[in-house]
Amino acid sequence: MKYPIAIEPGNDTTAWGVIVPDLPGCFSASDSGIDEAIDNAKEAIELWIETALDNNQDVPRPSSINTLQKRKEFKGMIWAIAEIDPALLSNEIERVNISLPKRVLARLDAKAKSAGENRSGFIAQMAISA
């Protein structure tokens, strides 16, 4: 997915500010310049999307830059695209193979059982809550 980002140029005393218009409350900044501002925006977008999905909220589709540029609040801003891996939005189940020492696997299974989960569900919950 390609999200347009609005970048407010920085200078020696002010950070570069970034707004992601399609994701309410999603913003970022950089002290080092436009390249870092774009990278930081990608990270902010990924975190915003993960949080929305974890809370069963919809993730808005990206708008076109042309539409957003016409809005007064973005006058004078630099526009860029932050490309996000679409797999981030997928809830499709994927089988994976991991290798663990037997003692670790036994602990994992015991903890999963006490939590009322199977191994996969327990690992997923640990990853989400971490």
How do residues 2-15 score in pLDDT, each as one tens digit?
999 999 998 888 89
Tell me, what's the pLDDT at 127?
82
**d(C-alpha 106, C-alpha 111), whole Å:** 9
DSSP type of residue 71? S
Cα radius of gyration (the chain): 20
Burial of residue 94, with CB atoms counted within 10 A of its CB: 0-12 exposed, 13-18 middle, 19 or more buried: exposed
78 pLDDT above the threshold of 80: yes
Tell me, what's the pLDDT at 91?
76
Confidence category of residue 105, pLDDT binned at 50, 70, 90: very high
Evaluate whether 4 touches 65 at the Cβ level (below 8 Å): yes
